């Protein structure tokens, strides 16, 4: 029985454009002389152009600089700003309808998952929260009560009417395992 003969592997130049071809006699740089020369020429022209500019030449654009005394900063007061303050930033995925009441707390974090059609007379919004129904119910009841809304407990699974003066909102919760759907009719 004869043993199969094994030949030694051929050397491969990994810098060569094609693997398995014989090593280049000119080397990796000399074989690409035209592109390297063009790159070197471009770089040297760029360096030459940058060094030709006089230091401080960019400051002569017709602008005057003046020192401002430190007492200007001490007179600026954020509480004196007359601009209207933006609505509180909330962690909500989606955009609330423009007629959604400002004093109805939006569960955070949540996503808007349903709205009525634009031509519809219905006014509701459905949010999805990634928390269980008991947690959502407790947070929502506490926030609505703190904002002046009165109503019964949300843990019964039935929609609850919350009132504030002559206004009302109806809130319903649906348990979806680890998520809760929150429907707010306004």
3-class DSSP assignment, residue 126: strand
Q: Residue 101: which CATH number?
A: 3.30.310
The reply to whether 179 and 125 lie within a common domain is yes
* pLDDT value of position 60: 55
Read off the pLDDT of each residue in 182-186 and give the average, rounded to a whole number.
Answer: 95
H-helix or E-strand containing 93? strand 92-93
27 vs 42, higher pLDDT? 42
List pLDDT tens digits, range 43-93: 777 676 666 555 555 555 666 776 666 665 556 666 666 665 555 555 777
**Rounded distance, CA 131 to CA 10, Å?**
63
The reply to whether 111 and 174 lie within a common domain is yes
List pLDDT tens digits, range 110-140: 999 998 887 888 899 999 999 999 999 999 9
Q: What does pLDDT average to over the chain?
A: 76
The DSSP bridge partners found for residue 136 are none
The reply to whether 23 and 99 lie within a common domain is no
Note down the domain range covering 115.
92-185
The reply to whether 121 and 181 lie within a common domain is yes
Name, in order, each residue with C-beta under 8 angstroms of 122's C-beta and a sequence gap of 6 or more: 116, 185
Q: Does 83 map to a domain?
A: no
Q: Is the pLDDT of residue 4 over 70?
A: no
Count of domains forming the chain:
2
- Position 5 confidence tier, pLDDT thresholds 50, 70, 90: low
pLDDT > 90 fraction of the chain, expressed in percent and rounded: 35
């Amino acid at each position: 029985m004869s043993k199969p003969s094994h030949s030694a592997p051929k050397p491969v130049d990994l810098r060569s454009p094609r693997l398995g071809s014989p090593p280049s006699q000119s080397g990796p740089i000399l074989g690409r002389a035209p592109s390297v020369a063009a790159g070197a020429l471009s770089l040297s022209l760029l360096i030459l152009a940058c060094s030709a500019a006089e230091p401080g030449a960019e400051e002569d654009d017709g602008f005057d600089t003046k020192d401002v005394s430190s007492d200007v900063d001490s007179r600026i007061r954020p509480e004196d700003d007359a601009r209207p303050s933006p609505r509180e930033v909330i962690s909500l995925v989606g955009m609330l309808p423009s007629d959604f009441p400002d004093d109805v707390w939006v569960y955070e974090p949540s996503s808007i998952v349903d709205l009525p059609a634009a031509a519809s007379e219905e006014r509701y919004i459905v949010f999805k929260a990634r928390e269980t129904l008991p947690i959502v119910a407790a947070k929502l009841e506490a926030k609505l009560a703190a904002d002046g809304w009165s109503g019964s407990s949300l843990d019964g699974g039935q929609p609850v009417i919350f009132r504030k003066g002559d206004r009302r909102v109806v809130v319903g919760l649906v348990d979806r395992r680890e998520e809760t759907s929150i429907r707010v009719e306004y």
